[in-house]
Amino acid sequence: MEKTKFERFSLKPFIIEALSNELKFFEPTEIQERLIPSILKGESAIGQSQTGTGKTHAYLLPLLNKIDPDRKEVQVVITAPTRELATQIYNEVVKVIAFSKEEILAKCYIGGTDKQRTIDKLKTQPQIVVGTPGRINDLVKEQALIVNKVRTFVVDEADLMLDMGFIKEVDMVASQMPDNLQILVFSATIPEKLKPFLKKYLENPKFTHVAPKQVTAAKIEHVLVPTRHRDKIKLVHDMLVKFNPFLAIVFTNTKKNADEVANALLEKGLKVGRIHGDLSPRDRKKMMKQINDLDFQYVVATDLAARGIDIKGVSHVINYEIPTTELDFYIHRVGRTARAGSSGIAVTLFDSSDEDALNKLEKLGIEFVNRDFVGGEWKDLDDRQRRQKRKRVADEADALAKSIVQKPKKVKPGYKKKMTREMDQIKKRKRRLDKKSR
At residue 327, what is the residue type? L
- pLDDT tens sequence across 94-126: 999 999 999 999 999 998 778 888 898 898 999
**pLDDT category, 43, cuts 50, 70, 90?**
very high
Average pLDDT for 37-57: 87
Instruction: Calculate helix-pair angle for 133-141, 167-174, nearest 10 degrees.
Output: 40
Over residues 200-211, mean pLDDT? 81
Q: How far apart are CA 118 and CA 122, in angstroms?
A: 6
At residue 41, the pLDDT reads 95
Distance separating alpha carbons of residues 426 and 438, to the nearest angstrom? 19
Whether pLDDT at 390 is above 50: no
Count of CA atoms in the C-beta half-sphere (13 A) of 324: 7
Residue 317: predicted pLDDT: 94
**What are the residues facing 249 on neighbouring strands?**
299, 317
212 vs 318, more confident: 318
Helix (H, G, I), strand (E, B) or coil at 71: coil
Radius of gyration of the chain (CA): 28
User: What's the pLDDT band for 330 if we cut at 50, 70, 90?
Assistant: confident
Lowest average pLDDT, out of 147-151, 272-276, 323-327, 403-407, goes to: 403-407
CA distance 190 to 38: 20
Contact status, residue 20 vs residue 4, Cβ threshold 8 Å: yes
Give mean pLDDT, residues 232-256.
Answer: 94
> Looking at domain 220-380, which of 3.40.50.300, 3.40.50.1360, 3.30.1600.10, 1.25.40.390 is its CATH number?
3.40.50.300
What is the model's pLDDT at position 266? 95
% of the chain residues with pLDDT over 90: 50
Looking at every residue in the chain, the average pLDDT score rounds to: 85
> Does the pLDDT at position 391 exceed 80?
no
Could you please state the CATH topology (level 3) that the domain comprising 5-210 is classified under: Rossmann fold (3.40.50)
Helix/strand/coil (H, E, C) string of 207-275? EEEECCCCCCCCCEEEEEEECCCCCHHHHHHHHHHHHCCCCEEEECCCHHHHHHHHHHHHHCCCCEEEE
Q: In what order do the strands lie in the sheet with 45-49?
A: 106-109, 128-131, 76-79, 152-155, 182-187, 45-49, 206-210
Over residues 16-21, the mean pLDDT reads 93
pLDDT at 392 over 50: no
Tens digit of pLDDT for each residue in 253-303? 999 999 999 999 999 999 999 988 788 878 888 888 898 888 999 999 988
Instruction: Please provide the size of the chain in residues.
Output: 438
Q: Does 243 score more than 90 pLDDT? A: yes
C-alpha of 303 from chain center: 9
The highest-confidence range among 73-77, 211-215, 328-332, by mean pLDDT, is: 73-77
- What pLDDT does 434 receive? 61
Mean pLDDT of 126-149: 96
pTM above 0.75, yes or no: no
The predicted structure's pLDDT at residue 188:
78
Tell me the DSSP string of 311-363.
-TT--EEEESS--SS-THHHHHHHTTSS-TT--EEEEEEE-GGGHHHHHHHHH
Residue 218 predicted with pLDDT over 80:
no
Give the pLDDT mean for 410-435.
Answer: 67
Is pLDDT at 409 greater than 70 in this prediction? no
| More confident call, 371 vs 329 | 371
- Which is more confidently placed, 202 or 399? 202
pLDDT of 393: 46
User: Burial letters for 27-64: b for 16+ Cβ neighbours within 10 Å, e otherwise?
Assistant: ebbbbbbbbbebbbeeebbbbbbbbbbbbbbbbbbbbb
Nearest to 55 by CA among 158, 174, 128: 158
Q: What is the pLDDT of residue 169?
A: 94
Q: Which residues pair with 374 in a beta bridge?
A: 377
pLDDT in tens, 168-181: 999 999 999 998 89
Closest CA to 249 of 327, 322, 325, 302: 302
